Chain A
């Protein structure tokens, strides 16, 4: 079974600073994918970034980067140059490759960007 753990219920960051949101996972699968989604107050889930378990390089998408440490089973999201619009809930999710391919979500971290 897959399990995603986000230990930070809430985080604060100063505008223009960088912030790291933690995510650890547990799985017995050899092949899996890790995702981060952003959920603003409107409720929509916005895909941010993906990391495959066999990818040797950390994924990057604009201001988002994923610090993937496979041996430690962690997939932390780093947001650089925080903006006020980054204030939202952030969910880490994992998908085992093959089978139904459904996502397992963590409990989320609420990020607040302070002006």
Chain B
């Protein structure tokens, strides 16, 4: 299967700071990437769909000014949590759709655990 990396894997920051998370498709080009959030013992919640060269599409209830997404190239999407607060602490995980496959499987990165103090 395809490989997706995510960096950093862990981040601890002070309230009010901004945090950038990178998602890269390592061995394929991804015109579409997805950002999810997962609370403990819960399922994944889609935050936004990131499209290369255009604006991201945000799910209802997700603040686009709070969670900035930039898909600057076919292998990189970034999620910036601006002015982070303790309630933003969560597990953030990205995925990239592999267009080379007929079923266009979404392959996931290893995730980023964010803790805002």
Which residues of A are interface residues toward B (Cβ below 8 A)? 33, 35, 37, 42-47, 50, 52, 91, 95, 100-103, 105-108
Is B110 a contact partner of A47 (Cβ separation < 8 A)? no
A50 touches B49 (CB 8 A): no
B interface residues (Cβ-Cβ under 8 A, vs A): 1, 32, 34, 42-44, 46, 49, 57, 91, 93, 95, 97, 103-111, 113
Interface secondary structure of B, over-half rule: strand
Complex CA distance for A107 and B39, rounded to whole angstroms: 12
- Contact partner of A102 (CB less than 8 A), chosen from B1, B49, B109, is B49
What residues of B have a CB within 8 angstroms of the CB of A95 in the complex? 106
**5 A-B pairs with the lowest CB-CB distances in the bound complex, closest first:** A45-B108, A43-B111, A44-B110, A105-B43, A50-B103
A103 to B113, Cβ gap below 8 A?
A: no
List 7 other contacts, CB 8 Å, given A35-B105, A50-B103, A100-B32: A33-B103, A45-B108, A46-B108, A91-B43, A95-B106, A101-B97, A105-B43
In the complex, chain B residues whose CB is within 8 Å of the CB of A106: 43
**Contact B95–A45 (Cβ < 8 Å):** yes
* Residues of A close to B44: CB separation below 8 A: 45, 91, 103, 105
In the bound complex, how far is the Cα of B104 from the Cα of A73, in angstroms? 22
A100 touches B57 (CB 8 A): yes
